């Protein structure tokens, strides 16, 4: 069943954007075999660990944007599909994501997955997760085109309790309480209008293909924050790749924005207490 599910998603990617089959085949037939030789490019890059990443954004009131294995597939023309959710490849969005990846803004912490990117295929096999090696192939090969040697980067899974076993929920909750909070996500009804900050505003975004509505969603966010003091406002967004672009755009305007991803799904009960 899992095999059928995987191929159903793959076929959907190719149907929605037929040229996606080219980078897919390149990855399968070539990149998977040479990816580990690119690890050397990241050995001297400063990656903050989970705790350091959280401390950096809390202590310095910074924005955070997180990139996993999927972003480099998107840059190469392969859309993102998960269960009933999808983000079809869009070349304009891909160009904007490149802009975010290479961003040099002292108020923005860009995050990746060094715990996987620095791991060889042999390492994956030794840990019993050999099948996950190919997830990080494109990251290993193409990340070097966007990072800067003298810049520090965070860890993308810092908000994920399964990886960050010391995730300081209490500190996050206390921090949020001091902010005018704007939550940008799909299905905001699940929050039941919970007030989590000084004020809490919910902006509904699209589930799948949020990029198609980006300008509309961004306009709603800007309308909701226009009367709020920037230093006391925190925008938390969870709309897949679209959130990455939103983080950069609003950070450049002086706001603090967190690309939270699955954080709310994983920790909603904890932060609502």
What angle (nearest 5°) sits at the alpha carbon of residue 28, between those of residues 24 and 29?
115
Identify the pLDDT of residue 194.
87
Alpha carbon distance 235, 185 (integer Å): 11
219 CB-near residues (< 8 Å, 6+ apart): none
Q: What is the mean pLDDT of the chain?
A: 92
Average pLDDT value for residue range 43-67 = 97
The predicted-structure confidence for 22-46, as pLDDT tens digits, reads as follows 999 999 999 999 999 999 999 999 9
Report, in angstroms and rounded to the nearest whole number, the Rg of the chain calculated over CA atoms: 19
Domains of the chain, start order: 2-159 (no CATH), 169-272 (3.40.250)
CA separation for the pair 106, 29 (Å, rounded): 39
Q: Which residues contact 27 (CB under 8 A, 6 or more apart)?
A: 134, 137, 138
The answer to whether residue 13 scores a pLDDT higher than 90 is no
Segment 154-202, tens digit of pLDDT: 999 998 888 888 888 889 989 999 999 999 999 888 888 889 899 999 9
């Amino acid at each position: 069943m899992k095999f059928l599910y995987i191929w159903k998603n793959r076929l959907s990617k190719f149907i929605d954007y037929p040229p996606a089959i080219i980078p897919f085949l390149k990855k399968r037939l070539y990149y998977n075999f040479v990816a580990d030789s690119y690890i050397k490019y990241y050995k001297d890059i400063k990656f903050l660990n989970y705790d350091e990443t959280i401390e950096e954004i809390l202590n310095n009131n910074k924005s955070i944007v997180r990139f996993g294995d999927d972003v480099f597939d998107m840059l190469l023309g392969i859309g993102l599909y998960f269960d009933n959710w999808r983000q079809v490849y869009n070349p304009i969005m891909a160009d904007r994501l490149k802009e975010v990846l290479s961003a040099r803004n002292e108020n923005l912490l860009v995050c990746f997955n060094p715990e996987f990117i620095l791991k060889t295929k042999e390492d994956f096999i030794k840990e019993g997760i050999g099948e996950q090696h190919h997830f990080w192939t494109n990251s290993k090969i193409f990340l070097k085109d966007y990072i800067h040697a003298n810049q520090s980067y965070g860890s993308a899974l810092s908000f994920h309790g399964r990886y960050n076993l010391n995730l300081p929920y209490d500190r996050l909750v206390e921090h949020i309480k001091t902010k005018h909070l704007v939550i940008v996500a799909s299905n905001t009804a699940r929050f039941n209008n919970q007030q989590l900050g000084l004020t809490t505003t919910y902006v509904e975004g699209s589930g799948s293909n949020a990029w198609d509505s980006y300008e509309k969603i961004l306009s709603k966010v800007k309308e909701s924050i226009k009367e709020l003091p920037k230093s006391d406002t925190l925008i938390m967004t969870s709309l897949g790749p679209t959130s990455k672009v939103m983080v950069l755009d609003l950070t450049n305007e002086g706001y603090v924005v967190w690309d939270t991803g699955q954080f709310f799904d994983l920790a909603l009960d904890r932060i609502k207490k």
